[in-house]
Copies of this chain bind each other. A is one copy, B any other.
Amino acid sequence: MPVNLPLIDPAQLHAVAGVRWGIAEVGVRKAHRKDLSVMLLDEGASVAGVFTSNRYCAAPVQVCREHLTQGSAVRALVINTGNANAGTGAPGVAHARQTCEALASLLQCAPAQILPFSTGVIMEPLPVDRIVAGLPAALADAQAAHWAQAAEGIMTTDTQPKAASVQLSIGGKTVNITGISKGAGMIRPNMATMLGFVATDANIDPALLPALVKALADGSFNRITIDGDTSTNDSFMLIATHQAGHAQITSLDSADGQALFKGLMQVARQLAHAIVRDGEGATKFITVQVEGGRTGEECRLVAYAIAHSPLVKTAFFASDPNLGRILAAVGYAGIADLDQGLIELHLDDVHVVSQGGRRPEYREEDGQRVMKGSEITVRVGLGRGTASDTVWTCDLSHDYVTINADYRS
């Protein structure tokens, strides 16, 4: 069961002018599941993305990067689940290209105007014939109202579809922002996460999109981890269709730019949090705040050391305030000149450690009370400066082992 993750309500997902989704069942890996999704964009839309830093990046990631670099106007994104098309060598790249060519032919555009995405098992050949054969059915299904279906169509080990949507007003016009994401394991995004798509009909200078998508990823997907495993297929895409009708936003520092950024970040963060809440085997949603660092980077190092520690994560699963494990992670995070005598530790409102040692006032039952909750904030003070950063993660339970020992079978 995901941690405090309500089921999505299709009626709450605002259509984005200029975007339609079509979904089909093509049997990529298993029969009778929605496993092929096509996102169709009206002419004039702009697209920017960030991708995994994994050097074993999947074939579709390589082709996406190439197509985006060519600067062609993107007309469609095609996503299959059930197979990651990663670790597939040269044939994998050929399969990704073949998918783009087939869809381009149906849409009467150039293959470089198609962006391909895959998610699922690594190192198995992509059943490209079944995908190509299923494209007409996906196109026939295309509707602006199909965001919820698309959220379902990109799932792998996710137990729930993930979507978020907000509306705001810019220049008297309604602007829609809607996104979907997937992911539950192999989650430690290092540019973006295993498939997130956010679209808006805001009218924004396309030149702002690359920096915008990076900033959004840094505030959302690039701050989550489930198991520390950076995926081969991570991709986070931002689409702007410019159809909302207001004057073009030419700077993110303007009032309208800030309003749009805030709305986009709200959606991106909600999607990123949804991935953690639905983390494989997760029973708790944990916020790790590190403050008092010299740089944001060193705060991130400490936050990720805590968030990745199997010992910390199993202690959270057990609701056991075995908090020395957190101190150990702080100590090995990689800050060479860290002074343990300055460390402070809070668990929600409970002040546990002061000047590096357990406070005499600390009572185990207070730690226990916090640990029993399903939403917990760990706050570490480094006592070295004014920088801070936050990472979100989940615990490590028996179900994580069960899910990952059984996946594929």
- A interface residues (Cβ-Cβ under 8 A, vs B): 52-57, 84, 86-92, 121-125, 185-186, 188, 190, 227-232, 308-311, 314-315, 317-318, 320, 322-325, 327-332, 335-336, 338-341, 343, 353, 355-358, 396-398, 400-402, 404-409
Contacts and interface: CB of A to CB of B under 8 A. Distances in A.
A309 B55 contact: no
Nearest to A341: B89
B124 A57 contact: no
Contacts of A309: 227-229
Given A55-B332, A230-B328, A231-B328, A123 B338 contact: no
B398 A55 contact: no
Contacts of A84: 324
A232 B404 contact: no
Greatest chain B CB density within 10 A among A230, A332, A341 is at A332
A43 B408 CA distance: 62
B358 A88 contact: yes
A320 B397 contact: no
A318 B124 contact: no
A70 to B, nearest CB: 22
Contact of A357 (B92, B185, B231): B92
9 closest Cβ contacts across the A-B interface?
Answer: A89-B357, A122-B324, A56-B331, A123-B324, A318-B405, A314-B404, A230-B332, A54-B331, A55-B338
Contacts of A341: 89-90
A343 to B, nearest CB: 8
A335 B55 CA distance: 8
Given A331-B57, A358-B88, A229 B310 contact: yes
B53 A332 contact: yes
Given A86-B324, A229-B332, A401 B404 contact: no
